[in-house]
Amino acid sequence: MVENLEQIADKVIETDVLMIGGGIGGCCAAAKAKEKGLDVTLIEKAHIERSGSSAQGIDHYEGFFTRDGTTTLENVRNEDWRLGRYGARYPNLNVKYRLYKHQFWVFDELEKLGVPMRWDDGEPYWIPFPFVGWERRKTGLRVHWTNIKPILAKAVKKSGARVLNRTMAVDLLTNNGRVVGASAVDIRTGKFIVIKAKATLIATGKLMRLYNPETPLPWKFKFRYHFCPASSAGDGYALVYRAGGDLVNMDISGWTLRHRDDLTISYGSFSLNDGIPMKCYTWDGTELLNPNATRYRQLEEQGKTPIYFSFDHFSDDLNKRIEVAFADERLLSFKVAQDRGFNPRTHRYELQDMRPTGFYRVSGIYIDENFRVLRGSLPIEGLYAFGDGSVGGTGGVAGAASGGLLLGEDLPAFLNDTDDPVVDISQVESHKQTALAPLSVKEGTEPLELESALRYLCERYVGMFKSEGKLREGLRRLSSLKGWLPKLSAETPHYLIGSLECRNLLEIAEVHIRACIERKETRGNFFKVDFPDKDPDMDNKFFCQRIEDGKAILELGEHVPLKPEYLREAQEEDANRESRS
């Protein structure tokens, strides 16, 4: 009989705040919470100097929407309306309101952390026209953030927060409905770690790895995603789901036109990166204005594919600006282009079919405006989430940084009279067994093989154009794929990353497929061939999925409107604007 944690774990840490994920959001939260006097432990699967979606750099920060004279409320409503057109709305508008409200506070806080918000002339560079026709806005920042991660890592180190790199969370520790920390494993040594925490924060990025990368490669290189694959495995989604938290809208995946050729910047983002509108052509030179999934299918039937993406219509100045954006977001692109004789000024990039990509913005971990993770509509004690993986607009660099900083600021008040966490030892034992089991499996399956099988399943049986028959076949095959989990082997502790990721991905794939089966309509970019019409009853609703008493539950959630205090605040802002003008 094991009586204390030290007998099971190689290391036991007690802390106020456990931050899982050390990307931009995680680093901001850790530094802020530490500054506020809390004991902070940050665990990161990779190394915080190069981790998260912006590991290799980022060139834009879209966030200062009220700068053009519009109010916070107008921006929230505008975004809500825009998303509604594409499918699903934010479940809770208050999250977005709170983030928009604090945009400029976040700007100052980032500067305090040593993040370069200005260009060489000492001024911020405002992106001239985020979208065609929006010339006047200038609300996003172009930033030279190739080294954003080393800079933030330095800030975290300076803050004195405890950092465990190459440490991957296995599962959350729960006790009577409260989250009391997490178990983790060092993926270089295989050491098992238990972290007891009053508050556990999750910012592990958005899930993308249920589907192939934006530049899918045949044969063995399966990770050519636009965003860092380590932060795209949906670890946080699975942690929250297994701990009883809600995932919402898990049927609504994002979509993209896949690139056949390497691109630094994902399709459609050029306009965000330096206000540069790209052009899209069929192979015989007809310009395409809106190449969506249905359109691509028609073009293919008409023999009009491949289609291309080009900036050969740009002036030298625009080309220069593109190149600087490349340098900020993925320097390697220049070298690669040179190696293959590809000149971005004159060559065109091939765009492949439009496919589902990731789960973000409207789908993911369900949180409220205080970043508390919800179960039903009630917060789970001790559990918070923000960044790309949470719903409500906390994604992107701006969302992650704002979420982390705001939460770090608030945490001392939240933790005021929290009792010390008590850990259930038998739960820790089972986590250890789950995490380390692949180390003793000999001649088993490689995690990457199982993951590839899962992605093939999602591509084939869920995909862009869904149907009941395909989805049910997918679910059936998924259950047999799950049988392969115990066969995963880890020759070295490194493969524990892959095996734990597989476990997370398989878990969430089932959530995804079940939600797709449940949605009996076609909405935005959710295409269900056997239900081609939109169901107006679903306009303000979304799917919530969680585990309750060991059973998977799916229920309808109701859209949460803005709080009266925010509406009052918005009225004041509006009145102030009128008096100003």
Name the site residues for another protein (rule: CB under 8 A): 46-47, 49-51, 55-56, 146, 166, 187-188, 215, 217-225, 228-230, 262, 330-332, 335-336, 339-340, 448, 492, 494, 497-498
Which residue's CB is nearer to another protein, number 41 or number 51?
51
How far, in whole angstroms, is CA 33 from its chain's centroid? 22
Distance of closest approach, residue 514 Cβ to another protein, in angstroms? 30
Distance of closest approach, residue 166 Cβ to another protein, in angstroms? 7
Distance of closest approach, residue 276 Cβ to another protein, in angstroms? 22
Angle between helices 396-414 and 93-101 (to 10 degrees): 90
Q: Where are the alpha helices (DSSP H) in 52-205?
A: 72-86, 93-101, 103-112, 148-159
First to last CA, the chain: 73
Which residue's CB is nearer to another protein, number 47 or number 279?
47
Q: How far apart are CA 543 and CA 545, in angstroms?
A: 6
Distance of closest approach, residue 212 Cβ to another protein, in angstroms? 13
Which residue's CB is nearer to another protein, number 8 or number 435?
435
Q: Where are the alpha helices (DSSP H) in 441-563?
A: 447-461, 468-482, 495-518
Q: How far apart are CA 13 and CA 415, in angstroms?
A: 18
Distance of closest approach, residue 173 Cβ to another protein, in angstroms? 25
Which residue's CB is nearer to another protein, number 158 or number 340?
340
Helices vs strands, H then E, count in the chain:
17, 22
CB 105 within 8 Å of CB 269: no
Which residue's CB is nearer to another protein, number 50 or number 347?
50
* SS (HEC) of 196-224: EEEEEEECCCCECCCCCCCCCCCCCCCCC
Q: Where are the alpha helices (DSSP H) in 165-230?
A: none
Distance of closest approach, residue 261 Cβ to another protein, in angstroms? 9
Distance of closest approach, residue 262 Cβ to another protein, in angstroms? 7
Q: For residue 172, how many C-alpha atoms fall within 13 Å in the half-sphere facing its CB?
A: 35
The two beta strands, 140-145 and 167-175, are unpaired
Distance of closest approach, residue 183 Cβ to another protein, in angstroms? 20
How far, in whole angstroms, is CA 308 from its chain's centroid? 27
Nearest Cα to Cα of residue 320 among 341, 340, 345? 345
Distance of closest approach, residue 504 Cβ to another protein, in angstroms? 16
Which residue's CB is nearer to another protein, number 55 or number 544?
55
Which residue's CB is nearer to another protein, number 51 or number 402?
51
Residue 358: CB atoms within 10 A of its CB come to 27
Distance of closest approach, residue 186 Cβ to another protein, in angstroms? 12
Please list, in sequence order, all residues whose beta carbon lies within 8 angstroms of the beta carbon of residue 434, skipping any fewer than 6 positions away: 170, 171, 503
Please list, in sequence order, all residues whose beta carbon lies within 8 angstroms of the beta carbon of residue 339, skipping any fewer than 6 positions away: none
Which residue's CB is nearer to another protein, number 94 or number 212?
212
Q: What is the Cα gyration radius of the chain?
A: 23
Q: Where are the alpha helices (DSSP H) in 3-70?
A: 5-8, 24-35
- For the chain, the maximum distance between any two Cα atoms, rounded to a whole number of angstroms, is 73
Distance of closest approach, residue 68 Cβ to another protein, in angstroms? 34
Which residue's CB is nearer to another protein, number 52 or number 382?
52
Which residue's CB is nearer to another protein, number 220 or number 551?
220
Q: 306: cis peptide before it, omega within 30°?
A: yes
Which residue's CB is nearer to another protein, number 334 or number 531?
334
330 backbone φψ class: left, alpha, beta (φ>0; ψ -120 to 50): beta
